[in-house]
Amino acid sequence: MKETREALPDLAAMAAYGARVAARLRAGDVVALSGGLGAGKTTLARAILASLGHAGEVPSPTFTIIETYDSPNLRLPVVHADFYRLDHPSELLEIGLDDYREGAALLAEWPDHAGGFAHEAGCLEITLQPAGESGEGGRIAIARGAADWVGRMP
């Protein structure tokens, strides 16, 4: 498993990093976005979506759990999920996550609440940590790619 670290001192750096992930993203992939409350998971998901060609709003899926993006402007369809509110990974069956994921890339916040995705070959795990005492230095992104990400790490 390959690991990279990237300093993201501000929102511009976050946008550029999101663009690099987006450029490498394929249907079937999952970008598992970890980090505590306010770590920047939604911010990075928005940057990835914008770079894929999405022009409109990207509401946080905190309450809906799943938001789908499949306009023809997008380079590929995207499912944006926030699994924070899941009580158990088995709830994914009721939600029908696998059906949503067909032909799409998944951007998943709180992936551990969904049982994790690291066992999937297309999984790119990105953990966002605060840089500095309370994040005043921005964020650090630690990325770990599964087998399918060899040679295309952001």
Ligand X SMILES: Nc1ncnc2c1ncn2[C@@H]1O[C@H](COP(=O)(O)OP(=O)(O)OP(=O)(O)O)[C@@H](O)[C@H]1O
CB of 41 to ligand X, least distance (A): 3
Residue 91 C-beta: closest distance to ligand X, Å? 18
Smallest distance from ligand X to CB 151, Å: 26
Q: Which of 78, 124, 139, 154 binds ligand X (CB under 6 A)?
A: 139
Binding site for Mg ion (CB under 5 A): 41-42, 109
Q: Could you say which residues in the range 23-52 bind ligand X, by CB under 6 A?
A: 35, 37-43
128 in helix, strand or coil?
strand
Place of tokens 């966002």: 128
Chain centroid offset of residue 147 CA:
17
Does residue 97 come out as left (phi exceeding 0), alpha (psi in the -120 to 50 range) or beta?
A: alpha
Rg of the chain over Cα atoms, rounded to whole angstroms, equals 14
Report what 96 binds from Mg ion, ligand X, none; CB cut-off 5-8 Å by kind.
Answer: none
